[in-house]
Amino acid sequence: MATQVKKQISVLASSTIAFTICFAVWMMFAVIGIPIKKSLGLNETEFGILVAMPVLTGSLIRLPLGMWTDKYGGRLIYFILMLSTVLPIYLIGYATKYWHFLVLGLFVGVAGGSFSVGIAYVARWFAKPRQGFAMGIFGAGNAGAALTKFVAPTIVVAYGWQMVPTVYAVAMLLTAIGFWVFSYTDPAHQVGAHVTMRDQLKALKDPNVWKLCQYYSIVFGGFVALALWMTKYYISEYGFHIQTAALLAAAFSLPGGILRAFGGWLSDKFGAHRVTWWVMWVSWICLFILSYPQTDFTVQTVGGPKTFHIGLNVWMFTTLMFIMGAAWAFGKASVFKYISDEYPHNIGVISGIVGLAGGLGGFVLPIMFGAIVDITGINSGIFMLMYGITWISLIWMYITEVRQVNVLQARHPAHAT
């Protein structure tokens, strides 16, 4: 019989691998959407809707999945979820009309709900002092967004975009089987039958939960939206081929996934509040710089007119995206450290609510990105939008957390740190 430690390691490893594949599938349209856009003659808004469609389902289903995980256990729900996506993924390769892709995208989007299942499933296998790190390792499965950018463009160039769904369908089926073989069930992790759906949904009345939703709509919703949009951004802004554009876009997606484990460790060591506070400030600074469009202006001087150019070259842009991706990796981990600290008995429900909000951000933002580019013609307008949203979180966090801590320290100086 396997020891408890062996079970913990096996559950964490199998869940993380499964989440990585699910996330890669969820982000599939970030790459195959580009040749589909060209073949169907879509505008920017229509492209935004296309890539965001899987995110819609993956967001809306997170709350019920979190509730079912609490009641029936993560192993069973995770396995069924993965199997349910295999056929829709495969059928994408045979779609020919815009509405075909939209409908199939909704079904494929179920894969994005895997986070709410896996995060609650993994967290319950570890003691509280190690939960942040464990959840951070699991959350590193966000690197599936980068995996898609490495794998899918190569398949597109070699065999055509239609081969990508076939490969991904096979990968999802094998992953589901492997997960079932190497994971475990512990009935003690499930809530009692006396806990009703109404009891679980009472969490929606908690204002603190909505604040966490706002944080997550940036660090995760923004991450998903930009992960979907960056390949096309590099193509339209800097003129790169799809393979080079996807590789550069991975500079944002990869740290946004693999550094999440380090963010979990930081949250365990320094606290969720402190990590989230600094994440928001780093995001605000990066987005401020990224927002400035490529600009040429002429100044009348005594020697005649002189023209100047202001704008980010591709290397400065990629560096800023890398920094922001790393910061958001820490932020994704710290938000869920908040949840495990403050809601240890209903992690599934709270993670479902917060994950739903973050996922909806990932759905709405690409559509807004497309509309902004269609209306203004300015690619960097997408960062102006994200900059404003980050401002809201900083103000909300200052009023509800930072300011209150300062006031308490002023009243009780002996407890100040």
Chain segment 81-120, per-residue pLDDT in tens: 999 999 999 999 999 999 999 999 999 999 988 888 888 8
Q: Take residue 183 and report the two structure tokens written for it.
A: 């994971």
Name the residue with higher pLDDT: 415 or 261. 261
Instruction: Determine contact, residues 20/253, Cβ cutoff 8 Å.
Output: no
Mean of all residue pLDDT scores within the chain: 86
Query: Between the CA of residue 192 and those of 66, 116, 186, 200, what are the distances in Å?
Result: 15, 19, 13, 12
Buried b / exposed e across 61-76, counting CB within 10 Å, b at 16+?
bbbbbbbbbbbebbbb
Compute the half-sphere exposure of residue 124: CA atoms within 13 Å on the CB side of its CA. 23
How many of the other CB atoms lie within 10 Å of CB of 131? 25
> Which residues does 60 contact at the CB level (< 8 Å), separation at least 6?
356, 359, 360
CA distance 67 to 224: 23
Provide the pLDDT for residue 411.
44
Of 393, 27, 21, 23, the closest CA to residue 225 belongs to 27
What is the rounded average pLDDT of the residues 243-261? Answer: 84
Q: Say how many CA atoms lie within 13 Å of 18 toward its Cβ.
A: 37
Q: Which of 181-195, 205-219, 266-280 has the lowest mean pLDDT?
A: 181-195
Angle, vertex CA 215, rays to CA 325 and CA 106, nearest 5: 75
pLDDT in tens, 261-308: 788 888 888 888 889 889 999 999 999 999 998 888 889 888 888 988
- Least confident range of 133-142, 198-207, 254-263: 198-207
Entry pTM: 0.75
pLDDT of residue 185: 83
Backbone angles phi, psi at 301, to 5 degrees: -110, 175
Instruction: Set out the domains of the chain in order of their start, with CATH numbers.
Output: 4-410 (1.20.1250.20)
132 residue type, one letter: G
pLDDT at 407 over 50: no
- Residues 350 and 206: their CA atoms lie apart, in Å, by 10
Residues contacting residue 36 through CB under 8 Å, at least 6 positions apart: 29, 42, 50, 101, 161
What local confidence, expressed as pLDDT, does residue 268 receive? 82
Q: What is the pLDDT of residues 142-159, one digit of tens each?
A: 788 888 988 999 999 999
pLDDT at residue 61 in the model = 87
Half-sphere exposure of 341 (CA within 13 A, CB side): 18
**Residues present in the chain in total:** 417
CA 28, CA 70: separation in Å to the nearest integer? 29
For residues 151 and 355, the model is more confident at 151
Closest CA to 55 of 18, 105, 119, 116: 105
Q: Mean pLDDT across the stretch 189-200?
A: 61
Indicate the pLDDT class of residue 416, thresholds 50, 70 and 90: very low
Report residue 415's pLDDT band, with 50, 70 and 90 as the boundaries.
very low
Residue 124: band (very low, low, confident or very high) from pLDDT cuts 50, 70, 90: confident
The predicted pLDDT at position 101 comes to 95
Amino acid letter, 355: G
Residue 199: pLDDT over 80: no
Residue by residue, DSSP assigns 113-130 as: GHHHHHHHHHHTTS-HHH
User: HSE on the CB side for 48, CA within 13 Å?
Assistant: 21
Query: What pLDDT sits at residue 403?
Result: 63
H or E element: which one contains 138? helix 128-139
Q: What are phi and psi of 195, to 5 degrees?
A: -80, 115
Question: Any idea what the Cα angle at residue 200 is, between residues 194 and 206, rounded to 5°?
Answer: 140
pLDDT tens digits for range 338-347: 887 877 767 7
Q: What is the pLDDT of residue 226?
A: 92
Inform me whether the pLDDT recorded for 212 exceeds 90: no
